[in-house]
Structure 1
Amino acid sequence: MDVCVVGLGKLGLPLAVQFALKGHRVTGADIAPGVVDSVNRGVPPFPREAGLDQALKRVVAEGLLRATTDTTAAVARAEAVVVVVPLVTAADGSPDFALLDAATDAVAAGLRRGTLVSYETTLPVGTTRERWAPRLSARSGLAAGTDFALVFSPERVRTGRVFADLRRYPKLIGGLDASSTRRGAEFYRAVLDFDPRPDLPRPNGVWELASVEAAEFSKLAETTYRDVNIALANQFARYADEVGVDFAEIADACNSQPYSHLHRPGIAVGGHCIPVYPRLYLWNDPGATVVRAAREANLAVPGYAVGVLAGAVPGGIAGQGVLVLGASYRGGVKETAYSGVFPLVEAVRSAGARPYVSDPLYEAEELAALGLPPYGGEPVVAAVLQADHPEYRDLAPVDLPGVRVLLDGRRCTDPKRWAGAEVRRMVLGGE
């Protein structure tokens, strides 16, 4: 097939490469000329995606993948179009459709009769039917569901392991109508590989849901569940601090039977997904008090953590330097979307201390460009670990000269390295 992937970001590019690895002719469209140039040279525009370097070089060299800034022309040649353009939320939590609207208009301008259009960007329930179908039809002159097939199929992968996740998890799909669903299912069976999963209630592969709304809802539900579960763990951790017990021990005990699946507490919830998609759900269902309370609970953790740190440092942290370890929103990924580093830096400042940030993936100039004060060896009295980078697993007191207290917000460091040390190691929800 001739396939067009619109949006060559950290999810769209690996998806385009996957399709090309299956022997399909793929055109990747992106509005950033630098991204397009990098892809056409066979060089990933972002680091640390497992397997992407070699796979991209291969499919570009074989002529199976090319990139362009002309989305409309790429769509005009395609039998299937997959849209993976980001959807962000405004300050009030409402979705900002500007980027997706522009991408949809470009798709519509090149849309041909018989084409499949699949949106993989996470959307509020009802968006595909109520926004994309009429917009595509109005600008192309074609009827959605009759002249072209329209489906929603949420991405369910994690940056850094996209190829493995594409094989591991069932591909969910819901169409505007039954014909669209069948067409979408045929497409994804032709472009993806699936590992057998005998432990699943249904076989791995393409799962056809009853409607496009069901597919949209499934993505919001699975991600919002994680936010709520993390918030519950964070609430339990705060109480564990209060009564002097280790919540990790409690969670292990509870999870020893199959009806409990307590997550681990963490200093922040970051990334493009978990902090954002509950807000999209709340836009659909503003009366969801549990979801709203969970989001607020997770947003409060960085401030709580700095308060714990300040109380543990003799004399407090006011007027002192405090080092935040990790700018990324999670370990091993060079990405700061909704990272906990930003509220942590602000909380440190609010406590009257001087924040500094270091990260093994970022140069000082890059941190400064993000508005983060880079660490240059200034004296610091405390440190807080924000991202669980592999490099921090062997962190020891000798690596933090002058530090009196380390708050490990990810339970990433080895407690044995800190036993008996003059530097006190703390975690959220226990010692």
Structure 2
Amino acid sequence: MRICVVALGKIGLPLAVQFARKGHQVTGADVDERVVAEVNAGREPFPGEADLDVHLADAVRAGLLTATTDTAAAVAESDAVVVVVPLFVDEAGVPDFGWMDAATRSIAAGLRPGTLVSYETTLPVGTTRDRWAPMLAEGSGLTAGTDFHLVFSPERVLTGRVFADLRRYPKLVGGIDDASARHGVEFYEQVLDFDDRPDLDRPNGVWDLGSAEAAELAKLAETTYRDVNIGLANQFARYADTVGVDVMKVIEACNTQPYSHIHRPGIAVGGHCIPVYPRMYLWNDPHATIVSAAREANVAMPEHAVDLLAAAYGDLTGTGVLVLGAAYRGGVKETAFSGVFPTVDALRRRGAVPYVSDPMYTPEELDALGLPPHRDESVTAAIVQADHAEYRDLGPDDLPGVKTLVDGRRVTDPTRWTGVRRVVIGAPNAGAAGPRSAR
């Protein structure tokens, strides 16, 4: 097949490479000229994706993958179009369709009869049928479901391990009609590989969910579940602080029962997915009080971590505090909705002088993000915000002068911190009030 992948970001580019590895002729379309140039040179434009550098170079060398800034021209030469353009929401959960509208109009300009269009970007329920189908039809002069096929098929992968996740998880597809769904299933069966191991919980492969709306809801539901679960874990952790209990021992014990799957508490929930999609779900279903309460609980955690620091350290006015980790999670060079931003803001409100360091970012890059880089200024307190592997071996010698450490991710080794007050979220040493009796 000839396939066009629209947007060569951290999901789109690995997808394009995956399709090329299956022997298909792939054109990646992106508005960023630098990304297009890097891809055409066989170089990954961003770090951190396992095996992408090797597979990308192989695909380009084999002539199976090229990139362009001309989306309409690439679509005109394609049998299938996969769209992975970002969709953002504001703090109120209102989607900003600007980028996706522009991309859809470009797709429509090149759309020809018989083409399959698959949206993988997470969307509010109803968007594929009510927004994209009319827009594609108007811009192309074709009829959706008759002249071209349209499906929603959510990405279900984690950056850093996209190729492994593509194999492991069932691929969900929902069409605007039966013919579209059938073409969508056939397409993904030809471009993906699936693990078929006896330890997998369910049969793998491509699943037709029956409608675009069902597939849209599935993506929102599975991600919102994670946010609600983390919110609950954070509530447990904050209560455990007050009664002298290590919440992780409780969670590990609970999860030995097969119906309990409590997630880990922590300083923040970041990334393009978990903080965003619950708000998108709430845009569809504003009466989902459980979802909104969990979102509020998770948003409050950076402030709670600073509260723990103040309780352990004392007055933070004028104190140099080092925030370890700008990334939203360890090993990934990405700051989307990272907890570093509210943590820095909370420290400033307390009168502290915050600094940020991250093994994946240069001081200049931190400056560009609006974060104050640490350039050997004196600090006497620190907060671990990201669970980078480098922090596992961190000790007082690495942070001379630090008297108090709040580990928001439980990534540091407690045996290395003799002589320093080490505080973790949801553990006996984190609570200011100490144990109390039940009432």
Shorter-chain TM range is over 0.9
The alpha carbon displacement at 1:312 in A equals 0.2
Q: CA RMSD in A?
A: 0.8
Distance 1:232 1:47 in 2: 33
CA distance in 2, matches of 1:38, 1:200: 37
Deviations 1:231-267 (Å, cap 9, x if unpaired)? 0000110000011110001001111111111111010
CA distance in structure 1 between the partners assigned to 2:395 and 2:201 by the alignment: 45
Residue in structure 2 matched with residue 242 of structure 1 by the alignment: 242
Residue matched to 2:411: 412
| Secondary structure at the counterpart of residue 67 of structure 1 | strand
Q: 1:58 & 1:202 partners in 2: Cα distance?
A: 33
The AA in structure 1 aligned to 2:421 is R
- Equivalent position SS for 1:356: strand
Question: Where does residue 164 of structure 1 map in the other structure?
Answer: 164
Give 3-state SS (helix, strand or coil) of 1:203's partner. coil
Task: Specify the alignment match of 2:437 in structure 1.
Answer: none
Whether 2:401 is the aligned partner of 1:402: answer yes
Which amino acid letter does the alignment assign opposite residue 178 of structure 2? A
CA distance in 1, matches of 2:138, 2:306: 52
Match of 1:208 in 2: 208
Residue 422 of structure 1 corresponds to 419
**Per-residue Cα deviation, 1:384-423 (whole angstroms, up to 9, x for no partner):** 00000111110111111111111110010112222xx111
1:349 partner amino acid: R
Q: Deviations over 1:342-361 (max 9, x none)?
A: 00000000011000000000
User: In 1, are the aligned partners of 2:308 and 2:423 still within 8 Å (CA)?
Assistant: no
**1:253 matched residue in structure 2:** 253
- Residue 393 of structure 1 aligns to a residue whose secondary structure is helix
Distance 1:413 1:316 in 2: 24
- Uncovered stretches (5+) of structure 2, i.e. residues with no partner: 430-439
Q: Secondary structure at the match of 1:8?
A: coil
Q: Deviations over 1:169-197 (max 9, x none)?
A: 10000101111111000000000000014
Q: How does 1:14-413 map to 2 (within 5 A)?
A: 14-200=14-200, 202-313=202-313, 315-413=314-412
Q: Is the 8 A contact 1:197 1:203 kept in 2?
A: no
TM-score w.r.t. length of structure 2: 0.96
Task: Normalising by structure 1, report the TM-score.
Answer: 0.98
CA distance in 2, matches of 1:262, 1:320: 36
1:332 maps to amino acid? G
Shift of 1:87: 0.2
Q: What percent identity do the matched residue pairs reach?
A: 71
Q: Which runs of 4+ in 1 moved over 2 A?
A: 197-202
Contact 1:317 / 1:381 at 8 angstroms: preserved in 2? no
Shift of 1:67: 0.1
For 1:166 and 1:159, locate their aligned partners in 2 and report how far apart those are by CA, in whole Å: 11
Distance 2:426 2:202 in 1: 37
- 1:334, 1:220 → 2: CA distance? 24
Q: Deviations over 1:12-59 (max 9, x none)?
A: 000000000000000000000000000000001100110000110111
Matches of 1:68 and 1:6, distance apart in 2: 10
AA aligned to 2:217 is F
Which secondary structure does the structure 1 equivalent of 2:156 belong to? coil
* TM superposition shift of 1:317: 1.5
Please say which of residues 202-211 and 95-104 is displaced more in the overlay: 202-211
Question: Which structure 1 segments of 5+ residues have no match?
Answer: none
Q: Give the partner amino acid of 1:278.
A: P
Once the two structures are TM-superposed, the CA of residue 201 in structure 1 deviates from its matched residue by 5.2
